[in-house]
Amino acid sequence: MTTTVGRFISFEGTEGVGKTTAIEGLCQRLQAAGIDYVRTREPGGSPFAERLRAILLDPATDINDDTELLLLFAARADHLQQVILPALQRGAWVICDRFTDSTIAYQGYGRADGDQRVLAKIDSLIAQFISPLPELTLWLDLPVLEGMARAGKRSKADRFEQQATAFFTRVHHGFSMLAMQHPERIERIDANGSSDEVGGRIWQTVQARFNLG
Ligand code: T5A
């Protein structure tokens, strides 16, 4: 077990729920509170993992589900070693846009429809290669179509965004299953409303969890 002193927070949710916007708001509040933090994301976050991200998101990439899963974990292992662990060890907070729950939701439920063999493969990769896990995960919950409408206002779709609505409905189900299974870690945040309202809910949750004044 690796010893760390910083706080590790991940943000999760289906496409376009407002993670990037919410993370921006949280980081501003952490800065105002004088808390040292590192903002990062998955897939990506380290130079090598960002190269894998480009491949994973490229619509021209033609790979099978196992290859996709292993690339995600290769990216995550590098990101953890190069960025997350050093930050936590020096006492900084790590704010990460997506982490292992995205793999369970997207690859385990979106791709594999909750197939127990695939979920077991993912659990085994987590157990072997990924430590620590986030202490707090903020799941931004919004109806799938509303998130897609928010995301759809931007540029052209990446390889995941090109999936059909049914895929994202399964992903959403995956996140709700995870929230039920890990109530001690995963907080559901209602992502309806303005970004100020959502940001306020997130800050309240973070303050309460980490006893911030
Ligand atoms: N993936 C990732 C896997 O399949 N497995 C894995 O293990 C991992 C780690 C990339 C893709 O990789 C997949 C999942 C993803 O498909 P990503 O870069 O996080 O992951 O991609 P997205 O989730 O698509 O991120 P987005 O940037 O699209 O969405 P966000 O960050 O949730 O939303 P955000 O903040 O950019 O907001 C979207 C739009 O809505 C507006 C914003 O201004 C923006 O225009 N908005 C709001 N509008 C109204 N009200 C609010 N409260 C709003 N908040 C934001």
- For the domain that residue 196 is a member of, what is the CATH number? 3.40.50.300
More reliable by pLDDT, 154 or 203:
203
Per-residue pLDDT, 146 = 96
Q: Find out whether 130 and 145 touch, Cβ atoms under 8 Å.
A: no
At residue 100, does pLDDT exceed 80? yes
Residue 54 lies in a domain: yes
Residue 74 lies in a domain: yes
Residue nearest atom 24 of ligand 1, based on CA coordinates: 15
Residue nearest atom 48 of ligand 1, based on CA coordinates: 150
Per-residue pLDDT, 153 = 67
pLDDT tens digits, 156-199: 789 998 888 999 999 999 999 999 999 999 999 999 999 999 99
Residue 161 lies in a domain: yes
Cα–Cα nearest to 20, from 44, 4, 46, 36 = 44
- Across all residues in the chain, what is the average pLDDT? 95
CA distance 54 to 155: 16
CA distance 50 to 45: 6
- Taking the model in full, what pTM does it have? 0.97
pLDDT tens digits, 54-69: 999 999 999 999 999 9
Residue 3 lies in a domain: no
What residues contact residue 147 under an 8 Å CB cut-off, 6+ apart? 13, 14, 15, 16, 17, 18, 168, 191
**Can you give the length of the chain in residues?**
213
Per-residue pLDDT, 4 = 74
pLDDT tier at 3 (50, 70, 90 boundaries)?
low
Q: Would you say the CB of residue 43 lies under 6 angstroms from ligand 1?
A: yes
Query: Number of structural domains, the chain?
Result: 1
Cα–Cα nearest to 43, from 32, 51, 34, 31 = 51
Q: Would you say the CB of residue 207 lies under 6 angstroms from ligand 1?
A: no
Residue 175 lies in a domain: yes
At residue 133, does pLDDT exceed 90? yes
Containing structural domain, residue 94: 8-210
Residue 142 lies in a domain: yes
State phi, psi for 73 to the nearest 5 degrees: -75, -30
